[in-house]
Amino acid sequence: MNFAKYAAYPAVDIPDRTWPDNRITKAPFWCSIDLRDGNQALPVPMSVEEKLDMFRLLVDIGFKEIEVGFPSAAAVEFQFVRKLIEDDHIPDDVTIQVLTQAREHLIRKTFDALDGVNKAIVHLYNSTSAVQRDVVFRMGREEVKNIAVRGTHLVKELKEASGNDGIRFEYSPESFTGTELEYALDVTHAVMDAWGASPDKPVIINLPSTVEMSTPNIFADRIEWFCRNIRNRQSALISVHTHNDRGTAVASAELAVMAGADRVEGALFGNGERCGNMDIVTMALNLCTQGVDPELDFSDLNTIRDVYCRSTRMSVHPRQPYSGELVYTAFSGSHQDAINKGMKARSADGLWNVPYLPIDPEDVGCSYKAIVRINSQSGKGGVAYIMENEHGYEIPKWMQPSFGAVVQSKVDREGRELLPREIHDLFHHEYIRIHEPYAIHKCTISWEDSEPERDDEVATTIECLLRQGDKDIAFEARGNGPVDAFVRGVLGHTGLDFAVDEYAEHSIGHGNDAKAIAYIKIRSAGREDSFGAGIDSNISLASIKAVLSAMNRL
């Protein structure tokens, strides 16, 4: 790698920085830029109808400020703004935002698009970075600053001519991350003076990392320095707009808020140019996991993702934080076991504290069913979780290694993930539908008195007919319960030698359709322990079937 051709990004001289000790205790003002910054990055930009679907989604989520387009840049952009206004699609508590370069004909076209709007933010920008000044515009500092000032004067003039007090003003020194701090502040002061910013009518000063060029802590230093040095801080609402070129747009925005930013611009799922904009879903849900109200509703992420994919023709990565289809799924055996135990031991005080799950999947509209999935990395705990949560089988811990090994063997043979139904069928094939060498043909259980649960060794009588190939084995035996009586009869008539070591049972289903399932572990000298299971509407027969299953697996 030819690393010597790159220079380190300069640090900020701010030794008494305070932002590292701050915590975010309240959501910032949010502004969605999906319909502009997100839209311009699409291979096929959204149509008017697709933009309208996205706008409705953003309103439903709870955005109060939505950048809806660049109406002077394209006919579709202009038409969409007009449709929103003329067809009364903008709720009273929502402010639309429109973007324009600091060029006279574009600013005038922007105001034509806003004719009749109730509330709007006119977002003016021009690039101020050193490389843009020197290479693209070939202008000095004063010339570039004058572009911003002239544009601001025109926006103010057109606002006053419209008589619309609902129009607010936002200015971005584009490529703020490539602009000298002192110069960015100088341009900002000139713009604020030209607008006549005051605490009663503050201007939005948006400081974009148009290209992400540093670690998030340096960006936070820049924001704290700017907030400290700006004149009339109460006359400016400091906004940030972070891109994801280094993969840390969310971190940069979070630290910027800690450093004093009031407002954050971002896009759903991080859509945007190059590596994307800041993922507003991720940042909002990060706040949620810290007990802070994000003031946006992402309780139905599946629907939000569907509308987004349909409108943008983009996809959401399966590992996208919070919203990817696999983010609440564990394949690793140790993870599955920890999640299984954590779900069962959830705190009585209501606080979420489940291993490997920073947020409750149900809080974002996801189910618990997909938390655990089974592949070659899975373990017995994951298999047990699937059987319990998908099918209602509470396989006891002493039997889980046995069935886990059965599942692992099949996964290794087939080299793929097993679906819950396949795991269920494998359990039945291995334990329930096993009828050789012994099959039960007839079984009658009776008690000598009205207390069938007493511990008397002769309380229960069993009459049984087993079939071993072509051979019938009939016996009558007594014991302190159905299992004990059955085992005594088997040991006396088959030549087998084993003892019941573990037993468990529970019901499956509810009401008249409920059945019982029994699990058995038997021990035989010179052989490995054997496990069995039986299902029947009668618990006694389920227990006997479980013993027979374990016998057949010896």
pLDDT in tens, 523-541: 988 888 999 999 999 999 9
Q: Which amino acid is at 478?
A: R
pLDDT value at 314 more than 90: yes
Give tens-digit pLDDT for 333-379.
678 788 878 888 887 788 999 998 999 999 999 876 656 555 556 66
Average pLDDT over residues 218-245: 97
Q: 């570039």: which residue's tokens?
A: 144
Query: How does residue 481 score in pLDDT terms, banded at 50, 70 and 90?
Result: confident
Domains of the chain: 3-11+31-312 (3.20.20.70), 333-428 (no CATH), 438-552 (3.30.160.270)
pLDDT at 147: 97
Residue 372: its pLDDT value, please? 58
Between these two residues, 334 and 399, which has the higher pLDDT value?
A: 399
Q: What confidence score (pLDDT) does residue 375 get?
A: 57
Tokens coding 484: 């004990």
Reply yes or no on whether the pLDDT at 456 is more than 80. Answer: no
Query: Does the pLDDT at position 513 exceed 90?
Result: no
Please report which confidence band the pLDDT of residue 102 belongs to, taking 50, 70 and 90 as the band edges. Answer: very high
Structure tokens at 443: 């079984």
Average per-residue pLDDT for the chain: 92
Residues 283-306, mean pLDDT to the nearest whole number: 96
- pLDDT at residue 380 is higher than 80: no
Q: Average pLDDT of 24-41? A: 96
Nearest to 521 by CA among 425, 437, 395, 335: 395
Segment 110-129 shows an average pLDDT of 97
Please give the average per-residue pLDDT across 416-430, as a whole number.
90
pLDDT at position 289 over 80: yes
pTM higher than the cut 0.85: no
Ranges 311-315, 321-325, 382-386, 433-437: which has the least confidence: 382-386
Q: What's the pLDDT at 379?
A: 63
Looking at residue 120, its pLDDT comes to: 98
Share of the chain above pLDDT 70, in %: 96
Kindly state the tokens that stand for 351: 């606080």
C-alpha to C-alpha distance for 356 and 336, rounded to whole angstroms: 9
Determine contact, residues 226/167, Cβ cutoff 8 Å.
Answer: no
My answer on whether omega of the bond before 437 falls inside 30° of 0, hence cis, is yes
Give the mean model confidence (pLDDT) for residues 389-398. Answer: 90
Convert the pLDDT of each residue in 142-156 to its tens digit: 999 999 999 999 999
Is residue 489 over pLDDT 70?
Answer: yes
CA distance linking residue 436 with residue 466, whole number of Å: 11
| Helix, strand, or coil (residue 440) | strand
Give yes or no for residue 381 having a pLDDT over 80: no
pLDDT score at 471: 92
What percent of the chain has pLDDT above 90? 76
Residue 89 structure tokens: 């699609």
Q: What is the mean pLDDT of residues 54-78?
A: 96
Q: What pLDDT score was predicted for residue 326? A: 83
Residue linked to tokens 């509470």: 394
Would you give the end-to-end CA distance of the chain in angstroms? Answer: 61
Q: What is the mean pLDDT of residues 311-338?
A: 86
Concatenating the DSSP letter of every residue in 301-329 gives HHHHHHHHHHHH-----TTSTTTSTTTT-
pLDDT of residue 337: 80
| Residues sharing a CB contact under 8 Å with residue 381, sequence separation 6 or more, in sequence order | 333, 334, 336, 337, 338, 340, 341, 400
Q: What is the 3-state secondary structure (H, E, C) of 340-392?
A: HHHHHCCCCCCCCCECCECCCHHHHCCCCCCCECECCCCCHHHHHHHHHHHHC
